[in-house]
Amino acid sequence: MVQSINMGGSIAASAIIMGCMRISEMNPQDVGALIEKALEAGINTFDHADIYGGGMAEEVFAKALALGTVKREDIVIQSKCGIRPGFFDFSKEYILASTDQILKRLNTEYLDVLLLHRPDTLMEPEEVAEAFERLHTSGKVNAFGVSNMNPMQMEYLGSRLPYKLIVNQLQFSAAHTGMIDNGLNVNMKNEAGIGRDGSVLEYCRMKDITIQTWSSLQYGFFEGTFLKSDKYPKLNHVLERIAEDNNVTAGAVAIAWILRHPAKMQAVVGTTSVKRLEEIARASEIYLSRQEWYEIYRAAGNVLP
């Protein structure tokens, strides 16, 4: 069973999240089977965004829930807003309108968490604060988070907010390790030693902000999965060897690598296959040794100083 974590110190949520970006073209029955398998495996948290399938992902999810017996209070639903065609928008009006549409599409009275999607440099934090206050006091949103923000952006926004930010969604995987490279190469004159995110990992740990990893099995910017990729032969060799030793799949080992970090991250997985979801959920059965963890890190092409 997938273990539970205390998301942001306030919400009991699964360490693995079912990402719903790709379900918009599925039929509700198949999505319902995915949801059932997720819950069977201990995955109770589901990630959406208003742009996924142009809103269709949320509608299909709601239809799938209506076919089953899952109680709303037994699952954690989060969604994101802020990305619009050609620009980002954290205006009060857009946050409020988008959230209302999200709730309508999901056929639910509330979101457990609302995340702001990609930083908007034209953000007026006082507007965001007012929107959050309205959403929280009306019972429409229980908690708030962000996606792809650095520490100073979170610090600035948080200085105006009436509520703590509990989540930051960031790209991270065995083949996309920028979030930890800089910390391993402090004071080194090399590419890995360049700070690009303001020590966001350490900041989130210090502030008890849960990091949720997107593209957890991907490399690059939506370039594809590294599993079985010719670009990562050494990484796949190591993952498959450890997988065989533990009677799991390489994908499960790659997710276990994320969960092994003491930051207690949540890994978002976007598979639409019941079988793969079941296999990935077994990541919680694996506890990688420190030696194995660093071996996977180095196998992806990283060099320790």
The answer, yes or no, to whether residue 248 has pLDDT greater than 90, is: yes
From 168, 182, 175, select the one nearest 266 (Cα to Cα): 168
d(CA 176, CA 157): 27
**Active-site residue list:** 52
CA–CA distance, 10 with 22 (Å, rounded to integer): 28
Q: What's the token pair of residue 271?
A: 């598979």
* pLDDT tens figures, 274-298: 999 999 999 999 999 999 999 999 9
Query: Region 19-48: what's the mean pLDDT?
Result: 97
User: Which residues 6+ apart lie within 8 Å of 231 measured at CB?
Assistant: 219
Structural domain includes residue 305: no
- 254, 174 Cβ separation under 8 angstroms: yes
* Domain, as residue range, for 61: 4-299
Mind listing the pLDDT tens digit for each residue in 96-132?
Answer: 999 999 999 999 999 999 999 999 999 999 999 999 9
> Is residue 31 pLDDT above 90, yes or no?
yes
**Number of domains into which the chain is organized:** 1
Rounded Cα gap, residues 302 and 288, in angstroms: 18
**What pLDDT digit, counting tens, does each position of 144-174 carry?**
999 999 999 999 999 999 999 999 999 999 9
User: Is 291 exposed, middle or buried, given 0-12, 13-18 or 19+ CB atoms closer than 10 A?
Assistant: exposed
CA distance 169 to 191: 24
Kindly state the percentage of the chain with pLDDT values over 70. 100
Alpha carbon distance 140, 209 (integer Å): 21
Sign of CA dihedral 1, 269, 168, 93: negative
Task: Give the mean model confidence (pLDDT) for residues 239-264.
Answer: 98
Q: Is residue 133 part of a domain?
A: yes
Q: Find tokens 């999810």 and name the residue.
A: 61
Q: Is 12 a residue whose pLDDT tops 90?
A: yes
- Residue 257 belongs to domain with CATH number: 3.20.20.100
Judged against a pLDDT cut of 90, whether residue 260 lies above it is answered with yes
Do 238 and 251 contact (CB within 8 A), yes or no?
A: no
Model pLDDT, residue 222: 86
Number of helices and strands in the chain (H, E): 11, 12
Q: What angle do CA 151, 125, 107 make, to 5 degrees?
A: 95
Residue type, 89: D
Q: How confident is the model at residue 37 (pLDDT cuts 50, 70, 90)?
A: very high
What is the rounded average pLDDT of the residues 20-24?
Answer: 97
Residue 253 lies in a domain: yes
Answer yes or no: is 160 within a domain. Answer: yes
* Residue 304 within a domain: no
In a 10 Å sphere around its CB, with 0-12 CB exposed, 13-18 middle and 19+ buried, how is residue 10 labelled?
Answer: middle
Q: Does the pLDDT at position 211 exceed 90?
A: yes
3-state SS track over 165-218: EEEEEEECECCECHHHHHHHCCCCCCHHHCCCCCCHHHHHHHHCCEEEEECCCE
The pLDDT, as a whole number, for residue 65 is 97
Residue 253 has pLDDT above 90, yes or no: yes
The verdict on residue 83 lying in a domain is yes
pTM summary value:
0.97
Q: What is the average pLDDT value for the chain, to the nearest integer? A: 97
The pair of structure tokens assigned to 135 is 């959403």
- How high is the pLDDT of residue 191? 93
**Confidence bin at 8 (pLDDT 50/70/90):** very high
- Whether 130 is in a domain gets the answer yes
Q: Is residue 29 part of a domain?
A: yes
Residue 259 has pLDDT above 90, yes or no: yes
Residue 93 has pLDDT above 90, yes or no: yes
